Structure 1
Amino acid sequence: MEDFEKFAAIMVAFACGQPKHWGALPDIISPPPSARYPASFPPPSLKGHNLQMVLPDTEEQVKVTMGKPIFTQYGLVGRRTFLYQIKTNPVVAQTPLVIKFSYQVVTRRREQDLVEVACKAGVKHIPKVHMWRDLWKLSDGARAIFHGNNKDAYEDRMLRALVYTRYLPLKALFRTAWHLIPHMAEQILDCLHDLRYKANILHQDISNNNIMFEIQDGVVNFILIDFDMATMVDSAGGLLAAPSSKYRTGTLPFMAYELLGDMAQSTSSEHQRIVHRLRHDFESLFYLCLYCIFTMVEVDDAKIKADMTKELREWEEQTYSSIASNKQYFCTDIERMGTLVLPVPCEVLRPWFYGWVTVFQRAVSTMSNYKNQVRLAQWYKDESSSSFDIDTLQGTITRDKIKQSLGFFYDRPLAPEDLQVANIPGLGKKIEAYMDDDEDLAEEDEHVQGQSVVAKKAKPPRKPRSTTKVKKVEVAKKKTVPKTVVASKKTTTAELVSPIRKQPQKPKRGLRTLAAATRSMTTRSMQKGPLAKAK
């Protein structure tokens, strides 16, 4: 070795580096105080890590401690979104919460600001945001040293933390209750319409991970989350500001064919970017409904599974121009929809999808006629121009037109009682499986309901006077595991709030690695390759 001293100095510098020096974590996120850190580097999980946040209404300091991961996304380009279950001290809400970290483009409007605008406008089916904090900018690190004030050298992003109510993934519902897919479309159509016309907001990223559900008064209620990519528009649907990101927003399998075709042509310096509009979000919702059938419905027939997987690959694994052509043919041709392979029970939904295709057919025809008129006017140098509603394609793609077409082809009424949990067999147990709190986190943080929680050494009940009462106590023990809250020398029993009544507690599972944990929670849109994120 020519320069051992230099090599040794570098090794010592590496050994002395803190997480922030390695680019792993900002100082704001603290490791577990009880554990030697780092046991391995980088840490495989942020479980047990904590940070301080502030309640916006009271400005009260809140300690947020992270539990097991819910969603993790890796990538050199994009937001690098990851979610964790959390505990808060003091308690922030009587429902389970999650914290979402993502690197957002600094020029974009903050997600919590857009949600607040939508909430004040009376838009329903949007998430409840509790706290937020800006943590660290890329330009605060080494990029500022190497690139200085050259803003074109890289896309500056802010690591932001957002705490909101924890919702449930669609796969927990549609595995067996696929008949509720039209109900989901109904609610999200209303949400997207109201976002656009009441709050002047476009969501721009409809996908399987961005629509979830909750149980509200015993009824399924769908929620549109993740407003990272949302933007404000004017009354005509045009963007109020130029696109703030270098990359087109959206998740590849759900992107509208017009936007995919635009991405295929974006290499040209003279190319004028197509504006994302509400009709593109409606089209993404159509693809999502099919995606739910292809990937979430329980299917035993191996051939049907293989055919549906092959169909999905045509949305994912080809060039942008090929995917755009396939999608345009797919969503505008009734005969193509008639030959689409669906699970046998889901055949009853085929007429409902005919309703979607009919709307898109009319819209394409209207757009084609308009383009022909423009070309003829240019050919004959006719300067007189007639107005054309590019946002809705002359009113052919609107919420009301879509609902009207769906109702015409699908004669089964969308009854409100279909959404009642009591009428959905097995849903209660599935919800409990997803909403179980992280028991290890409860031991580390020991703060629930604003008080110390004794999870393992609960104070035993007093001995009943009769044997009948003893039996009742034993039965009660089997049904529930009470958690006791210690407060001012008194021990009382408190139950964590859950969307439904608590089911019998499951036995503890063995320790799992982060890879195994995230693998079990991974959907196709989180896997590398088949469903890559297109930004």
Structure 2
Amino acid sequence: MELGDEIYEEQVIRGSIQEKIFPIGQVKSDFEEAQVVYDAFQCHEWVHDIGRILHRDISMNNLMFRRIDGEVYGVLNDFDLATGIDDLDRTPTSKHRAGTRPFMAHEQHSDKWNGPPRYRHDAESFFYLILMLGCNYSKPGTKVENAPYGSWFDAGDQHLYLSKRVLYTEGVFLPPTKRSGYEEWGRQIQRLLIRGFNARLSFELDRDNEPDGGSFNQDTLGGHFTADKLREVLSRFDNRIVISRDPAKLYLNFPS
């Protein structure tokens, strides 16, 4: 292309237009917020089962939503730390610890843990997400004073490890909350985790007496902490049905 006496290389400018999505704190009600959480869980299951990917950074900042015809559609955002399940054996130990620390699985805070990342670590992060929403907020986007889990955002790994571990090993109940839907979610998921970690402990104690050591599904804590069990919990909130959707359409940013 010529401009006066100068010759310039022709260039093309391209851009993309993306639909705007919003942080979870901008929903209008507890039930809408619960729908966003359940949608994000369904997105997670789709990329795990179909894409064979672990997200590894489930947190409040990564749960977003779009609103279409007045209805919210949850989005699981930010796959920067995601890992292919088939590549876990080749992931360097130094990269096993990843995520937003208040939401990381409890054993990932231990200096004795060196991986690999597992499905249950992502699923455990959903549990902490629910604790935060139910106990640290009085309604969407509104934090309470002296939030029960406020210290988790500044604490070190030892504090986080002990504070999270006690939820499964000493029968500690969750703090009371006026957000009854989240309290019920939290208690049900806590029971699944307690059963799972108790089953793992029993297996480890009995394994010494078995010549071949036996086997235990570490990804789902012996089948006690599975996607199906979590879906059964998350599909109801405050005695209302939460909508189940096509995860592929949620993930690909299309409404159901």
Q: 1:231 aligns with which of 36, 61, 83?
A: 83
* Larger helix percent: 2
1:107-506 superposed matches below 5 A: 165-173=19-27, 176-234=28-86, 239-243=88-92, 246=95, 248-261=97-110, 264-265=111-112, 273-293=114-134, 294-295=136-137, 297=139, 305-308=144-147, 310-313=148-151, 315-330=152-167, 335-337=172-174, 340-342=175-177, 344=178, 346-374=179-207, 376-377=208-209, 383-405=211-233, 412-416=239-243
Q: 1:352 to 1:248 in 2, by over 3 A?
A: closer
* Structure 1 gaps, min length 5: 1-59, 64-87, 98-164, 266-271, 417-535
Q: TM-score, normalised by structure 1?
A: 0.40
Quote the offset at 1:407 in angstroms: 6.2
Q: Distance in 2 between matches of 1:240 and 1:220?
A: 38
Quote the offset at 1:180 in angstroms: 2.8
Q: 2:13 aligns with which of 62, 69, 92?
A: 62
Q: Distance in 2 between matches of 1:246 and 1:335?
A: 31
Q: 1:217 to 1:62 in 2, by over 3 A?
A: farther
Quote the offset at 1:225 in angstroms: 1.3
- Of all paired residues, the percent bearing the same amino acid is 26
Work out which of the two has the higher radius of gyration on C-alpha atoms and give 1 or 2: 1
Residue 324 of structure 1: SS of its match in structure 2?
helix
Q: 1:372 to 1:62 in 2, by over 3 A?
A: farther
Structure with larger RCO (C-alpha < 8 A, sep 6+)? 2
Amino acid aligned to 1:387: S
Q: Which residue of 1 aligns with 2:3?
A: none
Amino acid aligned to 2:24: L
For residues 7-58 of structure 1, the C-alpha deviation after alignment (integer angstroms, 9 at most, x for no partner) is: xxxxxxxxxxxxxxxxxxxxxxxxxxxxxxxxxxxxxxxxxxxxxxxxxxxx
Quote the offset at 1:299 in angstroms: 9.1
Q: Is the 8 A contact 1:254 1:288 kept in 2?
A: yes
Quote the offset at 1:350 in angstroms: 1.8
Amino acid aligned to 1:284: S
For residues 151-188 of structure 1, the C-alpha deviation after alignment (integer angstroms, 9 at most, x for no partner) is: xxxxxxxxxxxxxx431111111xx4123333233222
Q: TM-score, normalised by structure 2?
A: 0.78
Quote the offset at 1:327 in angstroms: 0.9
Amino acid aligned to 1:320: D
For residues 412-436 of structure 1, the C-alpha deviation after alignment (integer angstroms, 9 at most, x for no partner) is: 12254xxxxxxxxxxxxxxxxxxxx
Q: 1:401 to 1:210 in 2, by over 3 A?
A: same
Quote the offset at 1:219 in angstroms: 2.1
Q: 1:306 to 1:351 in 2, by over 3 A?
A: same
CA RMSD of aligned residues (A): 3.0
Q: 1:334 to 1:61 in 2, by over 3 A?
A: farther
For residues 239-265 of structure 1, the C-alpha deviation after alignment (integer angstroms, 9 at most, x for no partner) is: 15223855721101101101112xx33
For residues 36-95 of structure 1, the C-alpha deviation after alignment (integer angstroms, 9 at most, x for no partner) is: xxxxxxxxxxxxxxxxxxxxxxxx9335xxxxxxxxxxxxxxxxxxxxxxxx4xxx33xx
Q: Which residue of 2 aligns with 1:124?
A: none
Amino acid aligned to 2:126: L
Q: Distance in 2 between matches of 1:220 and 1:332?
A: 37
Q: 1:240 to 1:348 in 2, by over 3 A?
A: closer
Quote the offset at 1:284 in angstroms: 0.6
For residues 470-496 of structure 1, the C-alpha deviation after alignment (integer angstroms, 9 at most, x for no partner) is: xxxxxxxxxxxxxxxxxxxxxxxxxxx
Q: 1:61 to 1:394 in 2, by over 3 A?
A: farther
